[in-house]
Amino acid sequence: MAVKARRSLLLAGAVGFVAWSAVHLGELGASWSQAWRMIAHLGWRWPLFLGVVWLLGLVVHTSVLTASLPGLSHRRALTLNLSGSAVSNVLPLGGVAGTVLNLGMVRGWGHTGLEFARFVVVSKAWDLIAKLFMPLVAVGVLLAADTTPVGHGALWLLCALTCALAGVLVTAALLGRAGPLLRLVAWSERVWGRIRRSKDPLGWTKATTELLDGTDSLVRRRWAELSWGMAGYWVLQGALLWLSFVAIHVYLPWPVILAGLVAERLLTLAAITPGGAGVVEAGTIAVIIALGADPTGALAGVLLYRAFVFVAEIPVGGIATALWLLGRRTA
């Protein structure tokens, strides 16, 4: 009951933050009606082109998934990605439900539960590593271009360095040097136990050790595929964000586009609402506005981009899941 109460409290807090952000955007000069008009007047060619770029990014990302699970085909990897995302984007904290669905798919294709566990750890950790290292790249580019908000460059750099340090710990753990990460997990476990005033072991350290077991050999063999697949995916995601602004005739410097992309990708880790909906958009728009963009243009561009990377994944992923179920019944 306590867990459900905490989840409900988190969800309520996220919804309240989104509502406050929507009101605050209006105070900054953003017009929701004008933003919707900018998107509605695109015609059909731009959405079609943006959809192709979005789908191409998912296809490139399948290299990360096939490298994480030897024997998995690119077609099945795409099905896993779309179906898992469809469930995660519908349910609050739906990542677990998406993972359970993917487990059923993978077992049906002849893979073991242990192989799936390593697949989840490696693929999710590689995505996490990219999200933790890219803020430092983005802040470096912004500082070089002198486009950071006045007086906040040092704070942005400090946050980016903290993320990069966490990325180093995760990378080292995947490569078989998990000592520093396990010590941090053990410390967090003790602190949280004292806050809860509970003497029962939480099991975080043991669970982390078990999850990392055997991942180092897989990562050492497949690091090149993992890296180029993730890099290609990020490039195409950046292209999609840039084209979303170009489509509505809002032209931003590429350092600002990079910062917006990094903010959006990093904020997806806070998936309190389904797929981080609302929280991700609010944070991304805030970063882009802070870097000098027009509030209404920032609102329209981010909403158009998220229409593909979040909304489109629900029906397309639903179709992919239905086709998998149909094939399973036929077999």
Q: Is the pTM of this model over 0.85?
A: yes
145 token code pair: 């271009």
Residue 241 contacts residue 264 (beta carbons within 8 Å): yes
Q: Tell me, yes or no, whether 215 lies in a domain.
A: no
Q: Is 124 part of a structural domain of the chain?
A: yes
Q: Which are the contacts of 82, defined by CB distance < 8 A and separation ≥ 6?
A: 58, 313, 316, 317, 320, 321
pLDDT tens readout for residues 86-106: 888 887 666 778 888 899 899
Single-letter amino acid code for the residue at 314: I
The answer to whether residue 258 sits within a structural domain is yes
- The residue ranking higher by pLDDT, 212 or 319, is 319
Rg (CA), the chain: 21
* Type of residue found at 26: G
Angstrom distance (rounded) from CA 331 to CA 325: 10
Task: Give the integer Cα–Cα distance in Å for 198 and 28.
Answer: 46
pLDDT per position as a tens digit, 125-178? 999 999 999 999 999 998 888 877 656 677 888 989 999 999 998 888 888 776
Q: Which domain holds residue 290?
A: 2-129+221-330
pLDDT given at position 215: 78
Signed CA dihedral, 304, 305, 308, 313: sign only: negative
Give the residue with greater pLDDT, 11 vs 187: 187
Number of domains in the chain: 1
pLDDT digits 0-9 by tens, 276-318: 778 888 889 999 998 888 999 999 999 999 999 999 999 999 9
The whole-number average pLDDT for the span 4-16 is 65
Give CA–CA dist 285/17, Å, rounded. Answer: 14
Host H or E run for residue 75: helix 74-88
CA distance 115 to 131: 24
- Rounded CA-CA distance 276/230 in Å is 21
Report which of residues 1 and 212 the model is more confident about: 212
Contact 102, 84 (CB under 8 A): yes
Tokens of residue 160, six digits: 């980016």
What digits encode the pLDDT tens for the residues 41-89?
898 899 999 999 999 999 999 999 999 999 999 999 999 999 988 888 8
Tell me the pLDDT tens digit for each residue of 226-265. Answer: 999 999 999 999 999 999 999 999 999 999 999 999 999 9
30 lies in some domain:
yes
Q: Is 177 helix (H, G, I), strand (E, B) or coil?
A: coil
Residue 160 CA from chain centroid, whole number: 17
Q: For the chain, what's the residue count?
A: 331
Nearest-angstrom CA–CA distance, 307 and 317: 14
